[in-house]
């Protein structure tokens, strides 16, 4: 394996000497941060990375749900209360991880939300929350994680949970689609910046269609409409997205998965 990102850190030398360590084995005992781990896709990605042998930090506002996940998973899962709309809260979280476990090797920028807020009549507050969480928090977490990855010199992987709405614009979802189109631009821009640094840090977007989570309940503010959304046809389950995360993480270092478009088979748009 060649590459300027290797240094004399004993951990790095171990990576260098074990070219055959592919798959998830290379991540064993390393630290993953999953944002929005209290429900839905994030909770399942945290569970799966933990099952694969990683130490996992899960953050969200509903820390009671994170505590329940910790009760299920055990000591290699660490919950942190964090409101991603607040930069100080994000910085405190990274400082806590530094003290607890050191550098983050895998960042899964999963937290996100949609509001049913059209461009003609949507509330500014709803637009702002989507942009704050889906775009700005993702960029702040990425900066904090990659700064540490670069300092440590052991490579790393940043995964953005984007959306099919990064690739087309569904009716009445202009601001949500704008936020996910921004994630698509940020993915490519980050790839180029990291490439310049020759740091061996990979970037992947995963763009799901409908997944059965708390998303539709939050979007429509209605349990009934959420149920209707997920019963039109067989939608994806969070495990389907976790599988895509593992595929990207486990691929050989020479291979960078840029974007996985993952629709339910029956989803028309
Ligand atoms: N479900 C779908 O159909 C679908 C399709 C395409 C893309 N996605 C994307 O998938 C990602 C995960 O969504 P999901 O479907 O799993 O939705 P979900 O079940 O509603 O989960 C959203 C997660 O984001 C967290 N979150 C929201 N605002 C936050 C904040 N201010 N600070 C910290 N955490 C916050 C929530 O935690 P707390 O509320 O506890 O803070 C929760 O853990 C999102 O980026 C979404 O855009 C979902």
The half-sphere exposure of 169 on its side-chain side, counting CA atoms within 13 A, is 12
Q: Is the CB of 61 under 6 A from ligand 1?
A: yes
**pLDDT at residue 249 above 50?**
yes
- How far does Cα 225 stand from its chain's mean position? 26
Average of pLDDT values for 7-31? Answer: 63
Measured from the Cα of 111, ligand 1's closest atom is: 24
Average of pLDDT values for 160-174? Answer: 97
Q: In what order do the strands lie in the sheet with 156-161?
A: 77-81, 55-60, 31-35, 106-109, 156-161, 201-208, 259-262
| Confidence tier at 34 by pLDDT (50, 70, 90) | very high
Count Cβ atoms below 10 Å from residue 254 Cβ, excluding itself.
6
User: What is the fold of 26-262?
Assistant: Rossmann fold (3.40.50)
DSSP 26: G
Going by C-alpha positions, the residue among 199, 89, 189 that lies closest to residue 139 is 189
176 in catalytic set: yes
pLDDT of residue 14: 42
| Confidence tier at 200 by pLDDT (50, 70, 90) | very high
Contacts of 168 (CB under 8 A, 6+ apart): 177, 269
Q: Is the CB of 41 under 6 A from ligand 1?
A: yes
Q: Is the CB of 130 under 6 A from ligand 1?
A: no
Mutate to test the pocket of ligand 1, among 33, 111, 240 (most ligand atoms within 8 A of CB): 111
Mean pLDDT (the chain) is: 93
**pLDDT at residue 172 above 70?**
yes
111 CA from centroid of ligand 1 (Å): 4
pLDDT of residue 38: 98
| Confidence tier at 22 by pLDDT (50, 70, 90) | confident
Supply the pTM of this predicted model.
Answer: 0.94
Does the CA dihedral 118-122-126-131 come out positive or negative? positive
| Confidence tier at 21 by pLDDT (50, 70, 90) | low
pLDDT of residue 103: 87
**pLDDT at residue 119 above 60?**
yes
CB burial string 64-82: b at 16+ within 10 A, e below:
ebbeebbeebeebbbbbbb
| Domain boundaries defined on the chain | 26-262
183 CA from centroid of ligand 1 (Å): 14
pLDDT of residue 4: 33
Mutate to test the pocket of ligand 1, among 60, 115, 234 (most ligand atoms within 8 A of CB): 60
């Amino acid at each position: 394996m060649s590459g300027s990102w290797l240094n004399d850190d004993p951990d790095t030398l171990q990576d260098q000497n074990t070219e055959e360590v592919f798959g998830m084995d290379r991540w064993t005992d390393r630290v993953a941060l999953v944002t929005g781990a209290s429900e839905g896709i994030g909770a399942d990605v945290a569970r799966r990375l933990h099952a694969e042998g990683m130490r996992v930090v899960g953050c969200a506002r509903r820390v009671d749900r994170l505590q329940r996940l910790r009760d299920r998973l055990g000591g290699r899962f660490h919950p942190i209360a964090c409101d991603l709309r607040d930069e100080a809260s994000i910085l405190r979280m990274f400082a806590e991880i530094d003290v607890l476990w050191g550098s983050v090797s895998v960042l899964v920028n999963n937290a996100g939300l949609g509001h049913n807020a059209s461009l003609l009549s949507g509330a500014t507050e709803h637009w702002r929350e989507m942009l704050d969480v889906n775009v700005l928090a993702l960029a702040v977490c990425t900066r904090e994680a990659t700064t540490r990855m670069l300092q440590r010199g052991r490579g790393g992987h940043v995964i953005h949970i984007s959306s099919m709405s990064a690739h087309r614009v569904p009716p009445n979802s202009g601001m949500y689609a704008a936020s996910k189109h921004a994630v698509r631009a940020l993915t490519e821009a980050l790839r180029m910046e990291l490439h310049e640094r020759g740091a061996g840090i990979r970037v992947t977007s995963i763009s799901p269609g409908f997944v059965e989570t708390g998303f539709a309940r939050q979007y429509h503010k209605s349990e009934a409409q959420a149920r209707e959304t997920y019963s039109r046809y067989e939608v994806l389950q969070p495990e389907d997205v976790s599988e895509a995360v593992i595929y990207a993480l486990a691929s050989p270092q020479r291979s960078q998965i840029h974007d996985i478009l993952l629709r339910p088979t029956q989803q028309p748009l």
